[in-house]
Amino acid sequence: MFAIVHSAGLVGIDPRPLRVEVHVGSAQQQALLVVGLPDTAVREARDRVKAALVSSGFKVPNRRVVVNLAPADLPKAGSAYDLPIALGMLAADRAIPTAATAVVALGELALDGGVRSTRGGLAAALVAKRLGLPCLLAPGAASEAALLPGVDIRPVTNLVEAIAIALGKIPAPEVQPMAAPVSAPVSDLSEIRGQLLARRALEVAAAGGHHLFLSGPPGAGKTMLARVLPSLLPALDDEALLEVALAWASAGYNPPGRCQPPFRSPHHTASVAALVGGGHTYLSPGELTLAHRGVLFLDELGEFPAQHLDALRQPIEEGSVSISRKGISVRFPSSVQLVAATNPCPCGFEDDRLVACSCPESGIRRYKARFSGPLLDRFDLRLKIPRLTAAELTGGPAENSQAVRARVVAARARQSERGQLNRSLSRPELDALPMTPEATSRLRASIDQFMLTGRGWDRVRRVARTIADLAGDQTVDESHVEEALVFRSSV
């Protein structure tokens, strides 16, 4: 008279096990009660489940049925628990063997008994792996779940088939590999001609994970440079891929391409919630989390409202963002590499070689004030990107992303021996890293010459460390510092 079916939910990007407990009670009254803090969609599940049972040739138990979704404090939303509720009701009513409930099930039921895909396929797979149970999912969700190796994923298309497959009476069909997502607009480095400085800056940024700031007139190719960066980053390993997939799943998206780090480019009109995450009862991650383990590109940085940029600062530093609403707090990961692009002034031509700027001076000051300050401090690499003339745009065949990525991977391996990306080296850690006396004195001389602040000094050291890693050197020498000084151009 009692049955339990396992299912799963996502809190932030944490998959949580969920138990669907069904009790079929006395025959005195016929009722179907769903408890456990469900939202409207779960309550609607009652009617869908009843209809699906009838359509599939079963009887709705003529008794008092109580369905409890436990734990009660786990926020639940959507229609994903129709399938486990139906399985539990049938098993508790003795209409099917109890063995059919030894699964993790997730899916919405159509009124004709079909099973539809919902969010959370990957979460269900993780829970199934933990419990060592097979996992029943609609084909779409099954494709998502298949990202996790070593789990018995069984795609099911309707309730009757689901029961047969759960009992092992018929074999589950093959899991269809996930449809390739709309390809992220990523370019290859070989598409960039000339621009030695910018190309090298991308390589250094990729190797050390440094945030990159690009300033230049319209049409200089800032966006193109930003789109190249993901192609230079190391491919995501299994663990990273899973994090990315969970982050995207929590927003209701299919995960991005299999191995390439994500690239997100939110528009400057996006709300704070769209950037860092938010929402009401169901908390959704923002662009920061969708760019987790990848690149967050803020084009036209000067157009983003100041409070939006402020909201980004702490999550970027900490690698995660906490959102609290009405008694629930969720932590989304946000370990992103930031690329920001901006015009140097409202008209864009302040630094141009050929076109004079037409902005009033006060306008330039106000514009620069927007993206100066604490956020700008986080950018180790700052570059002016000039417009090139036609002659400068033609050049021989350039190195492609793959060749550079190999050097980036090697440089990252040296960093992981030290335990962290150079981007996050703090001042004491920088002090402890080996540097030749010549390199130190060159740095000291540059403090006066370029009016480097303490933070500016740290930035040069972090970049110099990455340049040494790219060169395969244990100790930062003079030439590494000299190259790093080129990337210090004040904006």
Partner 1 sequence: MNSEAALGLAHLGLHPDRNRQLVERLGSPAAVLGAISAGSEAVSDAIRQSLASTPTEIETSLARLGAKALIRGTAGYPDHLNELPDSPPVLFVKGELPAVLAVALVGSRRATSYGRRLARRFGQAVAEVGWPVVSGLARGIDIAAHQGCLEAGGVGIGVLGSGLDRFYPAEHRPIGERLVAGGGAIVTEYPLGTTPEGWRFPPRNRIIAGLSAAVVVVEAAVTGGALITANAALSYGRAVLAVPGDIERETSRGCNLLIRDGAYPVLGVDELIEALGFVLGPPRVRPKADIPEEDPLLSALGSELRSPDWLAEHLNESPSRILAMIGRLQALGRIEFDGIVVAAIPGR
Site residues for partner 1 per CB under 8 A: 194-197, 199-200, 351-358, 361, 383-386, 388, 392, 395, 442, 445-446, 449, 467, 470-471, 478-486, 489
Task: Compare residues 42 and 198 and give the one whose CB is closer to partner 1.
Answer: 198
Closer CB to partner 1, 424 or 489, in the complex: 489
Q: Of the two residues 83 and 404, which places its CB atom closer to partner 1 in the complex? A: 404
- For residue 191, the minimal CB distance to partner 1 (Å) is 16
Distance in Å, CB of 374 to partner 1, minimum: 22
**Min. distance of Cβ 386 from partner 1 in angstroms?**
4
Nearest-approach distance from CB 309 to partner 1, in angstroms? 24
CB of 126 to partner 1, least distance (A): 43
- Pick the closer one to partner 1 by CB: 6 or 412: 412
| DSSP codes joined into one string, 52-66 | HHHHTTPPPPSSEEE
Pairing of strands 14-24, 64-70: antiparallel
Count of residues making up the chain: 491
Q: Smallest gap, in angstroms, from Cβ of residue 107 to partner 1?
A: 54
Shortest distance, CB of residue 200 to partner 1, whole angstroms?
5
Kindly report the backbone phi and psi dihedral angles of residue 365, in degrees, each rounded to the nearest multiple of 5, phi listed first: -60, -45
- HEC sequence for the chain: CEEEEEEEEEECCEEEEEEEEEEECCCCCCEEEEECCCCHHHHHHHHHHHHHHHHCCCCCCCCEEEEEEECCCCCCCCCCCHHHHHHHHHHHCCCCCHHHHCCEEECEECCCCEEECCCCHHHHHHHHHHHCCCEEECHHHHHHHCCCCCCCEEECCEHHHHHHHHCCCCCCCCCCCCCCCCCCCCCCHHHCCCCHHHHHHHHHHHHHCCCEEEECCCCCCHHHHHHHHHHHCCCCCHHHHHHHHHHHHHCCCCCCCCCCCCEECCCCCCCHHHHHEECCCCCEECHHHHCCCCEEEECCHHHCCHHHHHHHHHHHHHCEEEEEECCEEEEEECCCEEEEEECCCCCCCCCCCCCCCCCCHHHHHHHHHHHCCCCHHHCCEEEECCCCCHHHHCCCCCCCHHHHHHHHHHHHHHHHHHCCCHHHCCHHHHHHCCECHHHHHHHHHHHHHCCCCHHHHHHHHHHHHHHHHHHCCCCECHHHHHHHHHCCCCC
Q: At its nearest, how many Å lie between partner 1 and the CB of residue 354?
A: 6
Q: How far is the CB of 449 from partner 1 (least distance, A)?
A: 6
Shortest spacing between CB 420 and partner 1, in angstroms: 23
Identity of the residue, 329 or 394, whose beta carbon is nearer to partner 1 in the bound complex:
394
- Residue closer to partner 1 (CB basis): 92 or 359: 359
Q: Which residue lies nearer to partner 1 by CB, 21 or 482?
A: 482
Q: Which CB sits closer to partner 1, 271 or 358?
A: 358
Pick between residue 57 and residue 396 the one whose CB is nearest to partner 1.
396
Peptide bond into 71 cis (omega under 30): yes
What is the phi/psi pair of residue 37, to 5°?
Answer: 50, 45
Least Å from the CB of residue 196 to partner 1: 4
Give whichever of 81 and 371 is closer to partner 1, judged by the CB atom. 371
Closest approach, Cβ 359 to partner 1, in A, equals 9
Helical pair 454-471 and 437-449, crossing angle rounded to 10 deg: 140
Nearer to partner 1, 98 or 490 (CB): 490
Considering the complex, state which of residue 331 and residue 368 has its C-beta at the smaller distance from partner 1.
Answer: 368
Provide the minimum distance between the beta carbon of 184 and partner 1 in the complex, in angstroms, as a whole number: 27
Q: How many CA atoms lie within 13 A of 445 on its CB side?
A: 10
- Which residue's CB is nearer to partner 1, number 223 or number 466? 466
Strand locations in 157-285 (E): 212-215, 263-264, 277-278, 284-285
| Separation CA 413–CA 407 (nearest Å) | 10
